[in-house]
Chains A and B, each alone.
Chain A
Amino acid sequence: MMYDLVSDHPAPRRRKRFRWSRILLAIYVLLFLLFLLAPITAVVAVSFSSANFIALPMPGLSLRWYERIVGYEPFLQSLIVSLEVAAISALAGLVLGVPAALWVARDRGVLARAIMSLMLAPISVPAMLLGFSLLYLLSAMTIGISFLALCITHTVVAIPYVARTVLAVYRSLPVEYEEAAAVLGASRLRILFDIVLPLIKPAIFAGTMFSVLMSFDNLSLSFFFGGAATSTLPVVMLSYMQNQFDPSIAAIATVQMLIAVLALGIVNWIYGIEKLTAA
């Protein structure tokens, strides 16, 4: 816009060329978004197939694969395990991560830096290695393959997601709010609950949501702890896929997606999604 005003060149000609490249770019972006959504759409479509095999286009429509997953116990059981683990590990991540992040954010010492690196490290450690090493450590502690072990493992990975967003938001807050409250005689606990937590709520929501989604989708950690009662949904799905190849995988994947969309919808309804992405 601006360069049109000051340009020496004949403006209309350049603008036309400019618009062409822009339209081409827009078409490219549209194709890219289609590329992102294509496999997801394909899975949702196949879940309504009437065929015994996975084929697109489908010979007919039916809901039989949804009936099948309701009847197939491992799917439902592992779905419940997945939901429980995601909720517990996110909560534990909050309890451990938020206070630590509050201290680290306002301290510039060596210890604070070290703790910050340690809290963010689980994202960078290859998940296969972390799961593998934790399995042997927890076995040595006699909690080996158990629900507790699964929760501990997922908590290790939940901490960085929570800590990262809380750190960023709390650092950007001026300390004067807390100082003012302290001057006026508020206790630390009151400052925490009446001032700091409400201000960093978007960060807490965003971090929690991210850690829940990551836990819900996690395979590399969970599969090491997959006993009969402790298999998460991705683990059961993967082992099912290696034995059978029918559209029930598509149906359970669609259900899993709907749960995530629904959860996000509820958060949006309670809180407003634009505030989450602002964090």
Chain B
Amino acid sequence: MSDETCPGVAPEEPAAFRRERSFRLASVSWAMPALIFLLIFLVLPLLANIARSLPLEDPFQHYARLLGDAYYLGIVRQTIKVPALTAVACLIIGYPVAYFMVRHAGRWNALIVFLLIAPLLTSTIMRTFGWTVLLGRRGLVNAWMSDFGMIDKAVNMVNTEWAVYLGLVHVLSPFMVLSVSSVLQGIDRRLEESAQILGAGRLRVFLTITLPLSLDGIATGCILVFVLASGSFLSMLLLGGGKVTTLSLLIYQQFTLTQDIGFAAAMGNVLLLLSLICMAIQLRFLRRRGV
């Protein structure tokens, strides 16, 4: 404790040794309340849920139904497809925005960050509902289109698959932009400049230097968007009109209508499995980066 040297000028002292002696404010008991709380209210319910999905008389009946029945298998497929397409759409739409923020925005960067975060102050219901206001039969888009003579009769753009993706991309694209821009920020610009000096065109610099170096941000953003999209049901419920059903929406409907508890539990576990796979992929990425 009576260490008179500071870490910068004490090279003879091995780092591991220092850490062992260094002062510890908190002891393990400080973590116990959180540990106990989470064991009871996070681990226990999830374990109980696994037990609930495996009834004694025929343990795998719910999973067999979920993965054997064509209808339910289609829903499982949608639960992978919709979040995956949403992540890709968010990436394509969000990447240029992140690139602009880091490379060109300058003093406007703070304002753009603010505008990206500001929607979080509104409820997801408000943001999703906003699209029905804009796209509904009596919505603004219909009014404009008929003003310009593009349509004779109001077109219902809500309750379509497109509307679901629109709602999801709208809510989730800021997460993608922020994930990508935080990684872009860390790229050494001299690498791009060197490539340019050596004669590479702008597109080539982007494709061979900038894009590969930002892969970590892309992966983080995609996984984040995927997990958030697979957990949400609001966009499907309010904008899908029954055309897009994912597991989250089905759990919501099963719970409010049929109360088939064991089956809902099994669906929840399949959802959990999906997000565990995402986490495993993310861990691999982090490990590759050496964190």
* Bound: A179/B173 CA distance, A: 44
Report the minimal beta-carbon distance from A139 to chain B, rounded to whole angstroms: 11
Interface residues on B, range: 35 or more
Which of A61-69, A70-78, A129-137 contacts its partner? A129-137
Q: Does the CB pair A38–B130 fall under 8 Å? A: yes
Per-position binary interface string of chain B over residues 119-144, scored 1 when its CB falls under 8 Å from any chain A CB and 0 otherwise: 11111111111111110101110010
- Determine whether the beta carbon of A175 is less than 8 Å from that of B28: no
Complex Cα gap A250–B139 (Å): 14
| Contact present for B123 and A234 (CB under 8 Å) | yes
Given A46-B133, A115-B34, CB of A264 within 8 Å of CB of B121: yes
Contact between A55 and B119, CB atoms less than 8 A apart: no
CA distance A42 to B197 in the complex (A): 48
Q: Which of A83-138 contact B (CB under 8 A)?
A: 95-97, 99-100, 102-104, 106-108, 111-112, 115, 118-119, 121-122, 124-130, 132-134, 136-137
Q: Which residue on chain A has the smallest CB distance to residue B227?
A: A124
A150 within 8 Å of B by Cβ? Answer: no
A95–B32 Cα distance when bound, in Å, is: 12
Q: Which of A132, A159, A220, A223 meets B49, CB within 8 Å?
A: A132
Interface string of B82-101 (1 = CB under 8 A from A): 00000000000110110111
Known A-B contacts A106-B25, A126-B230, A234-B125; A136 and B52 likewise in contact (beta carbons under 8 Å): yes
User: Is B123 within 8 A of A129, CB to CB?
Assistant: no
Least CB distance from B73 to A in Å reads 19
The verdict on B17 contacting chain A, using a C-beta distance below 8 Å, is no
Known contacts A39-B134, A111-B28; A133 and B96 CB within 8 A of each other = no
CB–CB B133/A43 < 8 A: yes
Contact A155 B37 (CB under 8 A): yes
Q: A32-B97, A133-B268, A253-B126 are in contact. Are A156 and B33 (CB under 8 A)?
A: no
Q: Is the interface of A mostly helix, strand, loop or mixed?
A: helix
Cα(A25)–Cα(B96), bound, Å:
7
A54 in the interface, Cβ–Cβ < 8 Å? yes
Q: Is B148 on the interface with A (CB-CB < 8 A)?
A: no
Name B247-279 residues within 8 Å CB distance of A. Answer: 247-248, 251-252, 255, 261, 264-265, 268-269, 271-272, 274-276, 278-279
Evaluate whether A132 and B265 lie within 8 angstroms (CB atoms) in the complex, with A99-B31, A257-B123 already known.
Answer: yes
Which B residue's beta carbon lies closest to that of A179? B23
Determine the distance from Cα of A196 to Cα of B26 in the docked complex, in whole angstroms: 11
Q: Is B59 an interface residue (CB 8 A)?
A: no
Asked if B48 is at the interface of the complex by the 8 Å CB criterion, the answer is yes
* Cβ–Cβ < 8 Å partners of A257 in chain B: 121-123, 126
**Assembly CA distance A188 to B159 (angstroms):** 59
Contact A125 B46 (CB under 8 A): yes
Closest A-chain residue to B133, C-beta based?
A: A42
Given contacts A32-B97, A36-B174, is CB(A261)–CB(B38) below 8 Å? no
Which residues does chain A contribute within 8 Å of B46, judged by CB atoms? Answer: 125, 129-130, 133
A174 to B6, CA, bound (A): 11
Q: Give chain A residues whose Cβ lies under 8 Å from the Cβ of B33.
A: 95-96, 99-100
Distance (whole angstroms) from the CB of A55 to the closest CB of chain B: 4
- Least distance between A151 CB and chain B CB atoms (Å): 11
Q: Is the CB of A179 within 8 A of B30?
A: no
Which residues of chain B in 3-45 are interfacial with respect to chain A, using CB atoms and an 8 Å cutoff? 3, 6-7, 19, 22-28, 30-31, 33-35, 37-39, 41-45
> Complex: how many Å from CA A138 to CA B97?
44
Q: How far is the CA of A163 from the CA of B37 in the complex (A)?
A: 14
Whole-angstrom CA separation of A179 from B138 in the bound complex: 66
| Interchain Cβ contacts under 8 Å between A and B, 28 examples | A7-B197, A28-B96, A29-B97, A32-B173, A36-B116, A37-B119, A39-B126, A43-B129, A54-B138, A56-B139, A100-B33, A102-B25, A103-B26, A119-B34, A121-B42, A124-B279, A126-B275, A127-B231, A133-B45, A133-B265, A136-B48, A136-B52, A191-B25, A213-B120, A237-B125, A241-B238, A254-B126, A264-B121
With A159-B34, A253-B126, A260-B122 given, name 7 new contacts (CB 8 A): A3-B193, A54-B138, A99-B31, A126-B248, A136-B52, A188-B25, A191-B25
